[in-house]
Amino acid sequence: MMFTLPELPYAYNALEPVMDEATLHFHHDKHHATYTANLNKALESHPELAEKSIRYLIAHLNHLPEDIRGAVRNNGGGYFNHALFWDMMAPEGSTSFGGPVAEQIAKDFGSYEEFKKKFSAAAVSRFGSGWAWLVWNGDHLEVLSTANQDNPLTEGKKPLLALDVWEHAYYLQYQNRRPDFVASFFRIINWDYVNELFEDAKKSRKCGAAE
Ligand code: MN
C-alpha cells in the first residue's frame, strides 16, 4: 500500500480571501505532494510499515526502525499534518463555533477569546517553521506549538486543530505578515470537524495507544 495525496475537500478558491487559490495550489499540489512521495520512498525499505495507518506511524514514531525514523518524522509528519489541516478548514460561514469542543474550550481556557489569544501567541511566536495546535491531553485541552513537521500525537496528545506557520503556508499572500495570517485563520476553522476529532479523541482516553 502506498500513501496517496488526499484531494482538497473544497475548491482551491473556496477559502478566499483568507487563503488564496495560488497559495492552496502550491501548498497542496507541490508541498503536500512532496511529503507524500518522500514518505512512500522512505517506507520502501520497510514494506511491513507501509501497511500501517499514518496515525499509527506518527503515534509510534519513537519505536520505528532508526534508519527511517527521521524520514518518517519529517515526511510522515508532513503528510499527516497537511491531511488534517485541509479538513480543519472550511469556507467562511459554512460552520460555526459550538458543540462539545466549545464547551470544553470555555472550561479549560475561560472563554473563546482567551483560547484565541493563546492559540495566536503559539502560532506567531513559533520561531522558524512549525505548527500551532489545539490538542486533547486525556482530560483537558492544551494549546502548544511544534517545530518542523512534528505532530503532538507522538507525545500522546490528540490533535484537534492545527495551523501551519511555515512560510510556504502564507508568504505568497501575506509575505512577512504572519500575525495577519494567523488572525484571519479563525474565519475558516471547520468547527464541525474539530468536534468530530474531539469526540474520537475522548473515546480512547489512553492517548496514542489505540491508534
Ligand atoms: Mn505546509
pLDDT digits (tens, 9 = 90+) for 73-124: 999 999 999 999 999 999 999 999 999 999 999 999 999 999 999 999 999 9
Answer for the pair 207, 136: CB distance below 8 angstroms, yes or no: yes
Q: What is the mean pLDDT of residues 132-158?
A: 97
CA of 158 to the centre of ligand 1 (A): 19
CA of 31 to the centre of ligand 1 (A): 6
List the shell of residues around ion ligand 1, using CB closer than 5 Å. 164, 166, 169
Answer for the pair 123, 145: CB distance below 8 angstroms, yes or no: yes
- Sorting pLDDT into bands at 50, 70 and 90, what band is 1? low
Q: What is the pTM of this model?
A: 0.95
Residue 7 has pLDDT above 50, yes or no: yes
* CATH numeric code, 21-87: 1.10.287.990
CA of 175 to the centre of ligand 1 (A): 15
CA of 79 to the centre of ligand 1 (A): 9
Q: For residue 57, what pLDDT is reported?
A: 97
Architecture of domain 99-207: 3-Layer(bab) Sandwich (3.55)
> Which one-letter amino acid corresponds to residue 153?
L
CA of 76 to the centre of ligand 1 (A): 13
Q: What is the mean pLDDT of residues 52-78?
A: 97
CA of 177 to the centre of ligand 1 (A): 16
CATH 1.10.287.990 residue ranges for the chain: 21-87
CA of 110 to the centre of ligand 1 (A): 30
Copy the grid coordinates of residue 39: 514518505
Question: In the beta sheet, which residues pair with residue 142?
Answer: 135
